[in-house]
Amino acid sequence: MDSLLSIIVFLPIVVGLLMLLVPKEQFAVFRWGSFLAMLATFFLSLPLLNGFVTSDQMQFVTKLPWIPEFGIDYHVGIDGISLFLVLLTNLLGPLVVLSTFSAVQDKVKQFYVLLLVLQTGMLGAFVSLDLFLFYFFWEVMLIPMYLLIGVWGGQRRIYAAVKFFIYTIVGSLLMLVAILYLYNNGPVDPATGKHTFNVLVLLGANLSAAQQSWLFLAFALAFAIKVPLWPLHTWLPDAHVEAPTAGSVVLAGVLLKMGTYGLIRFAIPLFPDAAVQWQMPILILSVIGIVYGALVAMVQTDVKKLVAYSSVSHLGYCVLGLFSFNLLGASGSVYQMLGHGLSTGALFLLVGVIYERRHTREISAFGGLAQTVPFFTFAFVFTTLSSVGLPGLNGFVGEFLVLLGAFGENRVLGIIAASGVVLGAVYMLWLVRRFLFGPLVHEENKNLPDLNGREWLVLAPIFILMVYMGVQPKPFLSRMEPSLQKAYSRVEQVRARAALEEELPGLFEASSPANAPASSPAGDSSETGEEARTAPAPGEGAEVDTGFDPLSLRMDDQRGQDVDPTDGVFEGVAR
Amino acid sequence: MNEAAYLWLIPALPLIGSVIAGLVTLLTSHKEIHHPPKVVGWISSLAVLGSFLITVQGFLALRGLEPANRFLELTLFEWMAIGPLNLNMGFLLDPLSSTMLLFVTGIAFLIHVYSIGYMSHDRGFTRFFAYLNLFTFAMILLVLGDNLIVLFVGWEGVGLCSYLLIGFWHTKTENAVAGMKAFVVNRIGDFGFLLGMFVIFWTLLSQHGTPTFDFRLMQSQAHLIPAGAAALAGILLFVGATGKSAQIPLFVWLPDAMAGPTPVSALIHAATMVTAGVYMVARMNWLYEMTPLPLTIIAIVAALTALMSATIGLTQFDIKKVLAYSTVSQLGYMFLACGVGAYAVGIFHVLTHAFFKALMFLGSGSVIHALHEEQDMRKMGGLFKKIPITGWTFLAGWLAICGIVPFAGFFSKDEILWKAWSSHNELIPWLPKALWVLGFLTAGLTALYMTRLVAMTFFGKSRVEPEKEHHIHESPWTMTLPLVVLAIGSLTVGFLGTPEFLGLGPNRFHAWLEPVFSGELYAVQAPGSRQSIDLAEQRAHGTDSPFVFADGDENATFRTVQDEHGHQATETQTDAHGSVGTDAGTEHGTDAHATPAGTDAHGSVDTHGAAAASHGGAAAHGGGHGEHDTTMEWILMFASLGMAALGIAIGLFLYLRSPATPVSIAAGFGGLYALVRDKYRVDELYDATIIRPLVGISRSFLWKVIDVRVIDFIVNFVGLAAKGTSFIFRFFQSGYVQAYAFVILLGLAVILFRVF
């Protein structure tokens, strides 16, 4: 049980390395070997879901000393946030391999080895609880992706790959500097008495506002590039257009989430003061991204580019939700990450299907496909509906929660962001209209083969999950709730303190903790005061507790999932 | 709580039907089909019939309950729950939703049957039924949902089906464009709808209430919502309604939606979906009662929409386009009723309109069918004898929409005009009379353009193209039977809501809906909220109605009465409603000696009630004498009957006796006529001011300049600058990833060596 997570992470790369020993003509071995490895990884990760206990603790934790001299551990574990991202990665894995059976005919061996290495890199990054380990996996992801674009890509693949690389490496290197700084200035591990890369320990770091600000910016830049947050997005359309289908699916489905995941796992909890300080600029950028991405997507002539810009818009929602600093926005954001992985993954798969048949992605080369390929039409329209957030499918839940949360945080930004709901429908339905409907004008499209059994097999699990996630978000949301509360607990404290400072300047210097409840603003918090008193609030946490904004995360005391707000530290649980 | 486990079957049956039809469609999509499997059509129809029968069962169950406790509910599962949000997938059957559901499923069944005949030669037969059943499912969700989000699921679901069905014949680009336009315009409305929901949610949260979207729970916390937030939420929700129900400024999609098959126009774009906005406003009545502004806006928009689209209807030649603009106009009437606070009347018009407009659309479909897809009225004429069943039934629809007694439209339209006249607006005192004038003019125009349609289609000389002339045939029974049923409905449903003053007893339709609009049905303790919800307090907050009636048969009056008598009124009100026919209770309000409804004592009861009302200071035109009020009602009724007769007379004269006159009149108006014929060029206006600039800026500025020139330039510049200045470091910056990887490995190796 303890090693399950590690098996999941390393199974792909082990199979990949073993495949290096196989002669390169054995296509079937590479194809089926990778598929089975990915499938096994997926089935192995199902016990994670079963064994996961809804709580705010890290689970399936493994902690082994790696380089003890530097306080570097092999330290992995999952909580309610990473659980689902791991599952998403492992679900898409076998489907992506299956989708490449006919598309990849060149350098087959290398392709599948890289895909497997990439899988391990992504899984490792999602489960790492050690910053050094995280950075290691982060870089492991980068190189296979670079090669996938640069070797198996389209005509401008070199340009796209280098652009992808430069963008990413700039962010990564700054993050590395920040990690090292944090290591040197962070707290020592009480167990060893040394400096440490352990995230759970570093969460207790006592950094000045200026230190936090710089460190936050370095982390946030690396993650914002990965998201990508406007205006750091221009690598994405090029990378997507040039990447082979499998690369695009992995890129959109999983790799982009690495950015948003990094924000909620590291940037926000590690540097809460800075997160609050930089909240507004990031919110504004994400809202610009939503609208800008949608508008630019609208006028694209290349299907893949259109979907790429739609990702800029959708990921804007994710960042918006994360920085709304309430549970609604944050849960919506994580849900949107999963939902976008499915819907955009499926879109790229479908574009790949049609590209394989026609070798073009120009929208004007199509039209009227509904007459010749009804299965494809059904699948494409269904995916479109998921992407535009039709209620009943996955997209709606995330979008709705993000917008609801954002509206509570900032009315104006919430309203502008909500206009993305209209623009999303415009660019997707316009695409559908030009792609599938209208008269069949191009001779080449008259004898297109429809989806075959293998392609159905790739899409069917995604479609089923789209419906399930649309109808039953509860199992997802309830599992992520405690982890999200924990991730935001320090931000909550900062904001509560700031709110109190604003109302009663000098409160923190003057009053002792015990007096604080009595001096809490009576006007608007007679009820929140009650709530706070019922909450377990020991010692020095009391004054923070009483000031809780009624709009904040912790309104729901009746759900009994209170986290001690003063306990901003993740705690590894020994299971 | 009144659990009703069978409620889930109502939406489930059409959903199952849709899945069956959809699977058949997919499985047969690569086969050449010569005879569409009609059995699929029948399965779909029977699924809807099943829903209808279960709805009847629910309706009867409701009748058996006490008025104050008249609702059934069912919570299926917890849908979204995170933080302060607690959202269930649940259903609520009450007088309002059961009324809507009865005619939605009933008319949907008839139109399903009709479609079996109408679509029998179409390759997309099974696909059509998959969509139509899916639509029925979504519409049922919309009506039956017990919270705003479930309503919204249905709201978007019907929008999707509308999109799919408008673009049903997708090989023609215009159809696909029309479908897309419908969806996008509706999305603009939904944008407002979403924001309206957000406002309610966050207002409740910030006021320490229980944030919720549940109708009953929201209403029980109405007193927590400040007037400003209520006004904002009401207006934003109405923005959603202008999209779905085609009001100014978002009405532009509905006429284009006629690109879909005619049964779709009848079911979705006339009888059911487009009335969803009216239903929503009626459902949220408590919110709209809180402040005067939203209702005032609704009333003005509605009256203007009604008049504007009636004028356009007068100039169109496509038979379906005329009916489409007529629908927009009639929807205006419905909102006008809601806008003056007479929700029950609005819903009544929804009901009667569903019958006569579905009838006329299906009738036009039968005409189009007979003429082999001819829709231009200039190429019709003299069809009455050739397709008599269609002709006779169409006449019933015509008389109903013109408002000729005793057809259904007469009762509902007449009551709307009366409500507009007798209402009282706090913000704009002269508004009620202005609304009445607009509605009155629209009534005349309605009679005129519908007479024009009937005359040009069924009477006069035949202008049918010769090669089509001898193919004209009456439609099969699957198509004519629904016509006959709907014609009977158009003649009779009006009697469900006969107004009081005619002496036929109290208005049963109002009595049935009364518990919904008086709010008593919804008294519910908010779980977890610390305030005990005091009905009286809540009611006191709900008295800010902008429109207060001077006469005494609407609940708004009751509120006035209650204001006067204060606490006593509030206490007795429930009893009065509980034991007595609601109308009698309403008028009497405080009186202990409430007379059972339907007795002859009613005249005097009326006087009492009106007298009490007039003391409230709301009497705008010397009210206070019941007799006087009744007189006014009689006068207005004959005025609108006269107006309808005038419209019909002018129409018959112009289009049968003297067909040249309209042409010369049109020529006389010149540019103005062209403007109206071109639908006031609203589409062109939107195209020029919104769509083109947006696309242009996106393409030539955001993409080609910001992305390509500015951001990428900086990126490239960073790359070049680094390359240029760091000559020394070029080996570290060679661009060869292998080299980078090598350096990284080297670094790792050094670290590892140092360690071990």
Cβ-based contacts of A169 with chain B (< 8 Å): 740
**One-letter amino acid identity for A305?**
K
Q: Is A372 on the interface with B (CB under 8 A)?
A: no
Give A 479-508 residues with CB within 8 A of chain B: 481
- Say which DSSP state B653 is in: I
- Pick from A405, A402, A395, A418: nearest CA to B239: A418
A521 φψ region: left (φ > 0), alpha (ψ -120 to 50), beta (else): beta
B645 CB-side CA count, 13 A: 7
Distance CA A97, CA A391 (A): 30
Q: Is B171 on the interface with A (CB under 8 A)?
A: yes
Q: Is A545 on the interface with B (CB under 8 A)?
A: no
Task: Among A327, A422, A438, select the one facing B173 at the smallest CB separation.
Answer: A438
**Measured between CA atoms, how close is A439 to chain B, in angstroms?**
5
- Pick from A323, A350, A534, A308: nearest CA to A413: A323
Q: Is A401 on the interface with B (CB under 8 A)?
A: yes
Distance CA A221, CA A213 (A): 12
pLDDT value at residue B629? 62
Q: Do A477 and B740 touch (CB under 8 A)?
A: no
Q: Is A439 on the interface with B (CB under 8 A)?
A: yes
Q: Do A296 and B698 touch (CB under 8 A)?
A: yes
Distance CA B126, CA B128 (A): 5
| Domain-wise residue ranges, chain B | 1-146, 155-290, 295-497+621-677, 537-549+551-618, 683-755
B462 CB-side CA count, 13 A: 15
- Say which DSSP state B74 is in: E
Quote the tokens at residue A500. 């109190």
Sign, CA dihedral A357-A359-A362-A366, equals negative
Question: ipTM more than 0.90?
Answer: no
Contact A15, A31 (CB under 8 A): no
Beta strands in B647-727 (DSSP E): none
Q: What's the pLDDT band for A338 if we cut at 50, 70, 90?
A: very high
Distance CA A229, CA B352 (A): 53
Cα–Cα separations (whole angstroms), residue B193 to B186, B187, B284, B477: 10, 9, 12, 42
**Measured between CA atoms, how close is A514 to chain B, in angstroms?**
26
Q: Is B701 on the interface with A (CB under 8 A)?
A: no
pLDDT value at residue B635? 86
Q: Do A421 and B194 touch (CB under 8 A)?
A: yes
- Say which DSSP state A362 is in: B
With H, G, I as helix, E, B as strand and everything else as coil, classify residue B88: strand
Contact A469, A339 (CB under 8 A): yes
**Residue of B121 and A573 predicted with greater confidence:** B121
Please state, for a pLDDT cut of 90, what percent of chain A lies above it. 33
Tokens 């957000």 found at: B198
Tokens 């694209």 found at: A300
Flag whether pLDDT at A254 surpasses 70: yes
Tokens 């849960």 found at: A331
pLDDT value at residue B618? 37
Q: Is B746 on the interface with A (CB under 8 A)?
A: no
Rounded average pLDDT per 10-residue block, chain B, 756 residues: 80 94 88 80 93 92 84 88 88 91 92 90 89 94 92 92 90 88 91 92 87 87 88 93 90 88 88 91 90 92 92 90 92 92 91 92 90 86 86 91 87 89 86 91 91 89 81 85 91 83 78 80 51 39 43 37 37 36 38 38 37 37 47 86 88 82 80 82 83 84 81 77 60 67 79 72
**A243 CB contacts (<8 Å, ≥6 apart)?**
A148, A149, A152, A153, A154, A160, A251
Cα–Cα separations (whole angstroms), residue A300 to A235, A304, A353: 16, 9, 20
pLDDT value at residue A318? 93
Q: Do A296 and B702 touch (CB under 8 A)?
A: yes
pLDDT value at residue B522? 62
Distance CA B662, CA B291 (A): 46
Nearest-by-CA chain A residue for B751: A67
Cα–Cα separations (whole angstroms), residue A153 to A103, A248, A251, A257, B356: 12, 10, 13, 22, 61
Q: Is B205 on the interface with A (CB under 8 A)?
A: yes
**Measured between CA atoms, how close is A26 to chain B, in angstroms?**
26
Task: Please list the alpha-helical segments (H only) found in B507-554.
Answer: 508-518, 535-541
Distance CA B432, CA B212 (A): 35
Q: How many Cβ contacts (< 8 angstroms) between chains A and B?
A: 178
Quote the tokens at residue A94. 């076998």
Helix%, strand%, coil% for chain B, nearest 5: 75, 5, 25
Let me know how long chain A is.
Answer: 575
Q: Do B735 and A419 touch (CB under 8 A)?
A: no
**Residue of B728 and A458 predicted with greater confidence:** A458
Q: Do A421 and B187 touch (CB under 8 A)?
A: yes
pLDDT value at residue B737? 74
Q: What's the pLDDT band for A506 if we cut at 50, 70, 90?
A: low
Q: Is B734 on the interface with A (CB under 8 A)?
A: no
pLDDT value at residue A162? 82
Q: Is A534 on the interface with B (CB under 8 A)?
A: no
Looking at every residue in chain A, the average pLDDT score rounds to: 82
Cβ-based contacts of B183 with chain A (< 8 Å): 425, 429
B276 CB-side CA count, 13 A: 38
With H, G, I as helix, E, B as strand and everything else as coil, classify residue B281: helix
Q: Is A478 on the interface with B (CB under 8 A)?
A: yes
Distance of alpha carbon B210 from the chain centroid: 29
Contact B344, B262 (CB under 8 A): no
Nearest-by-CA chain B residue for A381: B164
Question: Which residues make beta-bridge pairs with B55?
Answer: none
Question: Which residues make beta-bridge pairs with A128?
Answer: A76
Lowest mean pLDDT among A161-175, A307-321, B106-120, B265-279: A161-175
Indicate which of A148, A437, A456 best probes the interface with B, i.e. most B CBs within 10 Å of its own CB: A437
Quote the tokens at residue B589. 């309000």
Quote the tokens at residue A384. 């479109």
State pTM to two decimals.
0.84
- Say which DSSP state B581 is in: -
pLDDT value at residue B731? 57
DSSP per-residue string spanning B184-227: HHHHHHHHHHHHHHHHHHHHHHHTTS----BHHHHHHTGGGS-H
Burial (CB < 10 A; 0-12, 13-18, 19+), residue B585, is buried
Nearest-by-CA chain A residue for B708: A234
pLDDT value at residue B577? 38
Contact B279, B143 (CB under 8 A): yes
Give B 69-98 residues with CB within 8 A of chain A: 77-85
With H, G, I as helix, E, B as strand and everything else as coil, classify residue B73: strand
**B502 CB contacts (<8 Å, ≥6 apart)?**
none
**Is the previous residue joined to B406 through a cis bond, with omega within 30 degrees of 0?**
yes
Distance CA A510, CA A492 (A): 22
Average pLDDT over residues A252-257: 90
Distance CA A466, CA B705 (A): 37
**Measured between CA atoms, how close is B731 to chain A, in angstroms?**
16
Average pLDDT over residues A108-128: 90
Q: Do A328 and B83 touch (CB under 8 A)?
A: yes
Strands A72-78 and B85-93: unpaired
Helix%, strand%, coil% for chain A, nearest 5: 70, 5, 25
**Measured between CA atoms, how close is B158 to chain A, in angstroms?**
11
Contact B524, B210 (CB under 8 A): no
Question: Which residues make beta-bridge pairs with B293?
Answer: none
Phi/psi of residue B382, nearest 5 degrees: 65, 25
Nearest-by-CA chain B residue for A301: B699
Distance CA B73, CA B393 (A): 38
Cβ-based contacts of B744 with chain A (< 8 Å): 139
Distance CA B219, CA B289 (A): 11
Indicate which of A474, A492, A562, A563 best probes the interface with B, i.e. most B CBs within 10 Å of its own CB: A474
**B277 CB contacts (<8 Å, ≥6 apart)?**
B238, B240, B241, B242, B243, B244, B245, B247, B331, B335
Quote the tokens at residue A575. 């299971």
Indicate which of B18, B26, B82, B152 best probes the interface with A, i.e. most A CBs within 10 Å of its own CB: B82
DSSP per-residue string spanning B224-248: GS-HHHHHHHHHHHHHHHHHHTT-T
Strands B72-82 and B85-93: antiparallel
Contact A361, A350 (CB under 8 A): no
Cβ-based contacts of A180 with chain B (< 8 Å): none
Distance CA A384, CA A389 (A): 9
Contact B346, B334 (CB under 8 A): yes
CB atoms within 10 A of CB B606: 22
Cβ-based contacts of B195 with chain A (< 8 Å): 407, 414-415, 418
Flag whether pLDDT at A288 surpasses 90: yes
Quote the tokens at residue A463. 């479609």
